[in-house]
Amino acid sequence: MKVVSGADMAKMDKWAIEERRIPQLLLMENAGRAVAAAAWRHLDKDKNQVVIVAGKGNNGGDGLVAARHLHQWGADVRLFLLCNPEDFQGSARDNWGFIESSEVRWYVLKDKNSFYPLKLCLETAAVAVDAVLGNGFRGSLQDNYLLAVEALNKGRARVIAVDVPSGIDASTGQIGNVAVMAQETVTFAYGKQGLYIHPGRRHAGQVRVEDISIPREAAELLEEPAEWVDKAYARALLPEIKEDSHKGSYGHVFIVAGSRGMTGAAMLAARSAMRSGTGLVTSALPDSLADGFDLAFAEGMTLGLPEDEAKPGYLSVAAAGEIISREEKKSVLLFGPGLAREEAIPLLLEEVLSHWQKPVVLDAGGLWALAQNREAALNFAGDLVLTPHPGELAMLLDTTTEEIQKDRPAAARKAAKEYGAIVVLKGSSSLVADAQGRLYINSTGNASLATAGSGDVLAGALAAWIAQGLPPREAAVLAVYLHGRAGDYLREAWGERGGLAGDVAEYLPLALKELVKE
């Protein structure tokens, strides 16, 4: 499902009104009626009171339309305004004229004392409609707007947000100081990015996307195209399985990973790659660690690489030749899980990338090495995939984790463009971005994935799907979805605490089976 940034939605609205001559009054009528229909579904003859809190902008205008329809249908509507009626402009002003001539009961929220009737109504109403602030909001709520949002959150009524819960940035999902906690959001034309990215995703509740007559050609205006990756989208990415296939049909993942004390990361990546369906996995580790790893992972092959003579258990630059010489029979290189931050690793990565032609996935130590030597990515001729968590992306972009989290979509897109790579920004609502600005927002996953080694599992799964023939971008999107779905299985079995990354790898086949079955 296509989703859009707040800026792109505003541009499409303007285009529809100015270029296609669709009256704003019609767009507002369609939006408000959709909100009224959503509220009506939760009413019955014994409990039919609806509270609508409206700001002075177009979002408030949508609320006025909803109030009019609900009143006509027989609901007991209480309309609370965060402005004087004469402050309405444009189509909102026209719709106020319709309200003023009706019998809808309305109140103006002027000061703290005027909020008392609102709070009382929110204790008894079946539904409360948040029509306070819409798509264009950024920053923090102040004064009566803050009081209105706090009242909506403290009330007992089911909250339905109009377009975007008030206080949420429609593009980033971020909150300034407080935001409406809605059980349902009715959004218009396209889903907004901020409704699908935490914390906005948590505040939006169930999201309904309603057509309000914006022409579909408006999508051609999108500067920041994005997709919501749900089950149907992920299923369409699955490559075909052939009955006469053999292990060579599903590719060969080559993993350069592990250091003394961190071979577990290499193991998790290798097991995940095989659990994701690749036919062959070779794990290349420092020579002194290879024999023990080989015994522990019976299904894979192991290669010992030259290590630092002064520091056994850590790779040397001399390993580059061994890695490069094995490219011909490998499908993809995964470089980094469990690689320590040692002086040789950035030099090793540069040498490998200057000769390797096939896709490369960089994770963990590989991302650190790239941050030390960014020219290595620019000199690489093949497809590059980066899998950072917010801290690693901050390192790659010379900023802070806090800045990354303020606008995760923009950060992922920026890194993809600067490095000419597919970027997987891990975290709640993991994102995949490409160098052309396309963004993919994942629908699966939960807090149970916040455990050591989870990223190694994702990296192995991603490499496996590249090995099976998917283009790197599609492989990243599918791997992120399945990794999150495996985490959902983990939560069902163990709860949100105590599950291990190794368990996530074991649930990957179930996540895949679910897609194949449907």
Q: Are residues 184 and 288 in the same domain?
A: no
CATH number at residue 385: 3.40.1190.20
Q: Are residues 117 and 52 in the same domain?
A: yes
Q: Are residues 204 and 296 in the same domain?
A: no
Q: Are residues 186 and 142 in the same domain?
A: yes
Q: Are residues 391 and 457 in the same domain?
A: yes
Query: Which of 436, 518, 511, 502 has its CA nearest to residue 480?
Result: 511
43 pLDDT above the threshold of 90: yes
281 pLDDT above the threshold of 80: yes
Range with lowest mean pLDDT among 20-29, 152-161, 222-231, 391-400:
222-231
The sign of the dihedral angle between the CA atoms of 506, 509, 515, 518 is negative
Give the model's pLDDT for residue 518: 62
**Arithmetic mean of pLDDT over the chain:** 94
H runs (alpha helix) in 171-312: 200-204, 231-237, 263-275, 287-296
Which residues constitute the domain of residue 424? 233-240+249-517
Range with lowest mean pLDDT among 1-5, 43-47, 194-198, 444-448:
43-47
Q: Are residues 195 and 255 in the same domain?
A: no
Query: Which of 145, 146, 51, 56 has its CA nearest to residue 104?
Result: 51
Q: Are residues 108 and 40 in the same domain?
A: yes
* 214, β-bridge pairs: none
Token look-up 């990015």 returns 193
Give the model's pLDDT for residue 245: 67
Backbone angles phi, psi at 469, to 5 degrees: 110, 0
Give the model's pLDDT for residue 36: 98
Q: Are residues 361 and 265 in the same domain?
A: yes
Residue of higher predicted confidence among 224 and 289 = 289
- Domains identified in the chain, total number: 2
124 pLDDT above the threshold of 70: yes
State pLDDT tens for residues 411-440: 999 999 999 999 999 998 899 999 999 999
CATH number at residue 219: 3.40.50.10260
Q: Are residues 169 and 277 in the same domain?
A: no
Q: Are residues 388 and 504 in the same domain?
A: yes
Q: Are residues 211 and 139 in the same domain?
A: yes
Q: Are residues 311 and 442 in the same domain?
A: yes
Average pLDDT for residues 195-218, to the nearest whole number? 95
Give the model's pLDDT for residue 291: 87
pTM of the model: 0.93
Give the model's pLDDT for residue 82: 96
241 pLDDT above the threshold of 80: no
Give the model's pLDDT for residue 250: 81
Which of 224, 257, 292 delimits the end of a domain?
Answer: 224
